[in-house]
Amino acid sequence: MSTYDSVKIVPLLHRNAINFIGMKPRSEYLTYREIQDRVIALDKEGILTTWSIQTGKILEQHNLSKTVDLSDYEVYQSDETDCTYFAGWYLPRVLLVNRRHPVKVDESSYFGDRVETSLINSIPYVTHESKKFLRYKVIDIKSTSQIEELISFVHVNYQPSVHKIFFSQDMQYMLERLAN
């Protein structure tokens, strides 16, 4: 407001992704990415949709389900309250997990020396813990028509522990935090 008689109105472009035309509920998408003046989102059916930030209109759609099958994957959450990979609309990458098809793994080869014990009649903690082995993927949207799978791996998921997984910016390190 410059004076009491005149008011300057400055338009502020919206950044509310909920209002983009044709957008499904947030839970239907795996990841989002902002590139220049566009928002790109990958839904669970493998469709990559691009919207204009200025107008909110759909600019293009690409069906990636023929080349990339993510139908069994969901955004990783250690529990219902974990918002690590739901914290913002525009995360640089997202961790996905396939909970529908646990992987069969030889625990002695996976855990190595941690399943051996030198004490007679003792049971190592890792063999006693309730767990599943799940397949994980870290993906990133590269353009309006392409996603990149940065890493794919099988990792143990302890039940019912709160099991948080983080990655360094350069994807060289993975930090796992367990809380029983």
Ordered alpha helix ranges (H), 7-64 = none
- Are 37 and 56 contacting, i.e. CB atoms less than 8 angstroms apart? no
User: pLDDT tens, 127-167?
Assistant: 777 888 999 999 999 988 899 999 999 998 877 777 888 88
How high is the pLDDT of residue 77? 81
Rg of the chain over all Cα atoms, to the nearest angstrom: 22
Distance CA 93, CA 98 (A): 17
- Whole-angstrom distance, CA of residue 59 vs CA of residue 150: 26
21-58 residues labelled b (16+ CB within 10 A) or e (exposed)? eebeeeeebbbbbeeeebbbbbbbebebbbbeeeebee
pLDDT at 171: 87
CB distance 96 to 75 below 8 Å: yes
Strands 131-143 and 38-43: unpaired
Given this model, what pLDDT does residue 163 score? 80
The percent of residues above 70 in pLDDT, for the chain, comes to 88
pTM: 0.76
Nearest to 169 by CA among 133, 138, 130: 138
pLDDT tens digits, one per residue of 100-136:
898 998 888 888 877 777 788 887 777 777 888 999 9
Higher pLDDT, 19 or 130: 130
Nearest to 45 by CA among 3, 74, 81: 74
Q: CA-to-CA distance for 22 and 60, rounded, in angstroms?
A: 12
